[in-house]
Amino acid sequence: MRAFSTLFIAAALALSANAASVSKRSIRPEVQLCIDSITSAGAQLEVVNTAVLAFTSSAGLIGANQIHSLEQVLETRLKKAGTDCCVPIGTITLPEADAVLATVKILVPKVTGALSAITSKKSQFDAIFLATTIVKTDIKALDAQTKTLDACLIAKTPTDPASYLITANGYVTEINNAFSATRTAYGI
């Protein structure tokens, strides 16, 4: 009985490893590059969010500029994701759409959380000369880069079955609503 259990576990592991390699092969390199770029932007977003959450007005303009520098890296990564995801490869396949949407699903709460943090720290930024101006510029730039990326992803999302496009539009709407609330809080 023990030998059977061991054999069953080994077979299950081999099948899951094989399934993972088949799944990986079904994603074209261009789509994987898009996924990797989105993931990279998400990692930098976490760095920015951590800095924003720790920020207080006592950090002064130097602290605000440090966050701005981190935002510039995020903006660069978002531009790269926009470039990588907007290559003319046509509509992506269903397995590719699954992979992209899974990546975006992880990113959405990070985006909304970061924007909420920026909104909650407005009074801290307002207490520093020019800091709010810097934050407003960053919000506008990130919003523009995000909209570019969103448009590309929506354009490439399969429409059959309709659930893919519904899911993608839901993610975009959630991000747009978060940006809208942040823009409103900062009077943009």
**Per-residue model confidence (pLDDT) at position 161:** 92
Domain boundaries 28-185, CATH class: mainly alpha
Using pLDDT thresholds of 50, 70 and 90, give the confidence band for residue 180.
very high
pLDDT tens digits, 109-130: 999 999 999 999 999 999 999 9
Run of H or E residues at 14: helix 2-25
Lowest mean pLDDT of 22-26, 93-97, 130-134, 164-168, name the range.
22-26
**What are the phi and psi torsion angles at 36 (to 5°)?**
-65, -40
Question: What are the sequence ranges of the domains in the chain?
Answer: 28-185
Q: Which two tokens stand for residue 56?
A: 């207080």
Instruction: Give the span between the Cα atoms of 143 and 186, in whole angstroms.
Output: 13
- Start-to-end CA distance of the chain, whole Å, equals 68
Q: What is the DSSP track for 96-143?
A: HHHHHHHHHHHHHHHHHHHHHHHHHTHHHHHTSTTHHHHHHHHHHHHH
